[in-house]
Amino acid sequence: MTDLSMTKTPLLTVEHLTMRFGGLVANSDVSFVANNAEITAIIGPNGAGKTTLFNCITGFYTPTVGRLTLRHPDGKEFLLERMPGYRISQKASVARTFQNIRLFGGMSVLENLVVAQHNKLIRASGFSIAGLLGLPSYRKAESEAIDLAKYWLDRVRLLDFADWSAGNLPYGAQRRLEIARAMCTEPVLLCLDEPAAGLNPRESAELAELLTFIRDDHKTGVLLIEHDMSVVMRISDHVVVLDYGRKISDGDPAFVKNDPAVIRAYLGEDEDAELPAEVANDLPEVAQNDVKRAEEGA
Q: Which residues bind another protein (CB under 8 A)?
A: 58-60, 85-91, 95-96, 98, 102-108, 110-111, 114-116, 118-119, 121-122, 125, 127-128, 131-132, 138, 146, 150, 160-165, 167-168, 181-182, 185
Closest separation in Å from C-beta 89 to another protein: 3
CA pair distance 141, 147, nearest whole angstrom? 10
Contact 168, 73 (CB under 8 A): no
Rank residues 115 and 263 by Cβ distance to another protein and give the closer one: 115
Rank residues 45 and 167 by Cβ distance to another protein and give the closer one: 167
Rank residues 172 and 251 by Cβ distance to another protein and give the closer one: 172
Rank residues 39 and 114 by Cβ distance to another protein and give the closer one: 114
Contact 184, 214 (CB under 8 A): no
Residue type, 241: V
Residue 205: its H or E element: helix 201-218
Closest separation in Å from C-beta 37 to another protein: 22
Rank residues 76 and 102 by Cβ distance to another protein and give the closer one: 102
Closest separation in Å from C-beta 112 to another protein: 8
- Which residues touch 194 (CB under 8 Å, ≥6 apart)? 99, 225, 226, 227
- DSSP 3-state of 94: strand
Residue type, 29: D
CA neighbor of 260 nearest in space, from 279, 241, 277, 246: 241
Closest separation in Å from C-beta 176 to another protein: 16
Closest separation in Å from C-beta 72 to another protein: 15
